[in-house]
Amino acid sequence: MRATRFAAIATFAVVAASVAACDSTNESTSDTGGSATATTAPASPTAAQFGAACSAVPADPSNPGSFAGMADDPVATAASNNPVLKTLVTAVTKAQLVDSLNTAPAVTVFAPTNDAFGKIPAATLDKVLADKAQLTKILTYHVVPQRLAPEQLAGTHTTLEGGAITVAGSGESFTVNGASGVVCGNVQTANATVYIVDSVLMPKA
């Protein structure tokens, strides 16, 4: 994958403000057929996780990286305990987005696996990790300011970055932007629903 340079974006403070601006009903706009609709229903915390990569998550419920452990922590903290998401956590930390993600009232995060970041040439990834503005743009493109249950996932959703992502599929089989697959879905944290994906999503320049 070739990373491209992106235009300068808002500072971390503006990103944090964007997260905080989500209203208490967790409304966001989703376009599933040309019309805008507001959805307020949160993902069900009792619904099962699905996907082949879920087997890599620690099974012991006392482990903070297990599904039960992640459910108790806000999303950035929960991800830091999950061995599948170590590179993502490094990126979030470098972009100084940990606090804004942890304090967001309700979000959906499309979380790339370590292997997803591994598809990016090492030199290119190092350059992106060193560019806070570009890194913030990419990471906030993975966040939708609303909790989406699996039955709400298909459609087009506006991200915190301002661009849109399109999810296709149903049941336990979904793709994001036509290429990235959901490999472990409906993972619950204290303030987010997480869909672990097998590719890094890239916003438009």
Beta strands in 26-154 (DSSP E): 29-31, 36-38, 107-112, 143-144
Task: Check residue 34 and give its pLDDT.
Answer: 34
Residues 6+ apart with CB under 8 A from 196: 51, 53, 84, 85, 111, 112, 113, 182, 183, 184, 185, 187
Evaluate if residue 179 carries a pLDDT over 50: yes
Tokens encoding 151: 């039955």
CA atoms within 13 A on the CB side of 150: 22
Task: Check residue 19 and give its pLDDT.
Answer: 37
Average pLDDT value for residue range 143-171: 97
Q: Which candidate, 124, 139, 128, places its Cα nearest to that of 92?
A: 139
- Predicted TM-score (pTM) of the model is 0.78
pLDDT band at 47 (very low <50, low <70, confident <90, very high): low
Write down all domains in the chain, each with its CATH number in brackets. Answer: 43-197 (2.30.180.10)
Average pLDDT value for residue range 159-165: 97
Q: What gap in Å lies between CA 42 and CA 111, rounded to an integer? A: 18
CA atoms within 13 A on the CB side of 94: 21
Tens-digit pLDDT profile for residues 110-141: 999 999 999 999 999 999 999 999 999 999 99
